[in-house]
Structure 1
Amino acid sequence: MNEAARIKQASYHLYTFTASKLISTFGSSVYAFGISLYVLALTGSAASFAINLICSILPRSLLAPFAGYTADKYSKKTIVVLSQVVSMLSVAGLLIYSLLNGLSLTAIYTTTALLSISSMFTGVTFSSSIANLIDPDRIQRAMGFNQSAISIAAIGGPVVGGMLFGFVSMNVFLMIQAGAYAIAVLLESTMNFKLYTVRAERAVGEATKTMLTEMKEGFSYLKSNRVITVIVTVAIGINFFFSSMMIGLPFIAVQQLNVKATHFGMIEAMIAVGMLAASIYFSISKEVRFPLLFAKRGILGMSVLLAGMAIPLIVGMSYGVMVVYFLLLMLTFGMTNVFVNTPIGVMMQKDVDEEYRGRVFGILESMAMAMMPLGYLLFGLLYDVVPAEYVVGASSFCLIVLTGYLMRPSVLKEAHPELQKNLSNQPEPL
């Protein structure tokens, strides 16, 4: 295939990938919101809601490394299509069960777990495939479109999910979800996941390696690449310390400052609005020249914003000013989040060797997701016994220290040798 034809097909991939990601992510968001409302309406129990959440998070944490191994060893297109088919069949199975027996918590929990696993396989495989689908000059644009799809789903999913839950039966709701996954399958089946592959065929000896051996090789590759190890470690730290924001925002705004539910919904939505605005910016702007340095500044900015949640607790504000303050804070936080994720995502697409890309993304997904339940538990307990301003302040400080140490000048110079002159005079942290 000549270069002009590849560029044309890459353009098709760019928009097909975005459409598929939007449909499947939007469908998952609608399902998660709608089924959560149903569980609460059915049981009135926060514990039942929490179990459904655990069924969504735990399988992703446990199986993500295996998904990464699978993406590296087998056909990425086959994995993506089959995963979406499993998602479609899981929802369709719940629909059939509902028609025959009525919905039960066991059936809902099982479906949630299956969807978590299938969407995780889809996500890890897609993440490791972007550099194979899109030409190098437009990877940042693809990452921007990907973030846009996620943001639109985050904004519109709860709205559509709430509307469907209120106006149609649960069976119609499930039929719509199954149809959305079916459309995603059709789109993904037309994509060429080897368009920009540079990977050679496996040698005979490599083909006989066990799964455990190849997964160990993924960890060994990760440890041998200092810059990628730093990125994964920082991602774990971000997910852990920003759990204090996920728990703290509703606790501070609603519980301590008595922000009305409608206004709090708008505050939470501003995160996704900020992410969407920043994603659009990255989809049309030039590629970031020094992504690790750019991301470091973004993380430090997010850390300051995290501490900023405590300001209304310390400084007296009128109700209107307080709501506007939180709206702007969360808008800026959403934008800064994308300023970190997109450059790092582009960097990993280009710098991680293709044969290890799936395993690296799988390890990243697993370790980052594993920190969330731990963070939720720890910070949930801390907010009950320690003043909230101390919790967010300490979290912000710890994240700043962690980022400053892990992304120290020597690491930045290794990632971007052309920064040598700029950073040569900066001292190393103790």
Structure 2
Amino acid sequence: MKALKFTMVAALAVFLFTSCEKDEMMEPETKSGMLPDVVPAKMYTITVENVSVPYHYFEAGAEFGVTGGDAAPPAHPGETITVHFHAGPSHKLSFASMYGASNDWFYAPGDDGIELFPGGTALEGDITSMIYLWDAGTEVDGSTTDEVESNPVGMVSTTEENIQVLLEYNGESMFTLTINVLPGSATPLSPTAWVVHSMDQHPIFMNGELDYGMGLEALAETGNAGPLGEYLEMHSGYVSPVAPVLWAVHAKDEMPIFTNNTADRGEGLELLAETGNPGDLAASLIGMGYHAGAYAVPDGKNSAGPLFPGDTYTFSIDAQPNQYLSIASMLGNSNDIFFAFGDSGIKLNFGNDAQDITDEIMLWDAGTEVNEYPGTKSMDEDEGGVVRLLDDGFMYPDVDKIIKVTIRKSK
């Protein structure tokens, strides 16, 4: 699938930075196209904010289920722990499970996890060699009195014959992790805390550093994966940037960007919905005579880019009385999903007080690329569908949990 790119094409850069009448450092405008000079135009100021919760991780939990034997934790020799999870090419997997016959030892990958799509291909097969035995450094080894220590987390050994760890890719961004406790193992294995995370993160521990105090100690000393799993899950969820905003001012019955239940027109919506770049669509609309443009500079920044949680775009447009406004902006962490009003936009009849119009915004599917589990983006498969309201069977946050849009008349 196309990478998420927010660098504007040269043509768009002209529209973004050469047509404003005010001080560009104060308010970089994006006006393009002509308005009829019959009735004085009104200026409206629009603010778009990414209100997403800035979760640290993608997906997490704790697995207490055991198969084989008496099917009750911990997992004894001949028994298995299985974890199902979703992930995409930008993700790694970390997990931890107590080495039962110890004071505070646990099995885990390296502190930065396991890359799940090395070279762009899903990792599968026996990954036991990627799993190590670690010492949490919280309890004196060999002690029979729970003697506390405060040592850094460190590796005990790089090879073990107690477990076998397998990874299977099930398709549609789902993996299955299987941990077999081998017959003849010297120890049972506790329930497992796990997390899917970004490439540069160390979510459970860091080699050579003290325990974070987020639940690893309880897991490594008692086998209780609950506190660590709950902490990781509480800080995991879907987060998406919001792409630069395409806008167009138009008449009541016009549908400048798309028509519901009709295939993309090939004027630039596909590029916007799949990559976040509104350049081609802005140029197309201006070429057709629309008063249109795009805005791409987050408030307080000097260069174009997407909105991350807490960021805002603020820009102004001119419109004649009784005209309508349409906008479009990619849901960044998706295949071809975008924010927009209905296909005919909304009427511009707002007053001087800022009005929240987020409830007019909907998530639309451009129908140009097959959707995947939200946040994974592991393929680029043409869909050949129609533009429609998003209804792909996956669970997404409500629009008002991702974006907030306000508008007010400026003059």
Alignment TM class, shorter chain as reference = under 0.3
TM-score, normalised to structure 2, is 0.23
Structure whose residues are more often helix by fraction: 1
User: Is the strand fraction higher in 1 or 2?
Assistant: 2
For normalisation by structure 1, the TM-score amounts to 0.22
Ranked by relative contact order (alpha carbons within 8 Å, sequence separation 6 or more), the top structure is 1
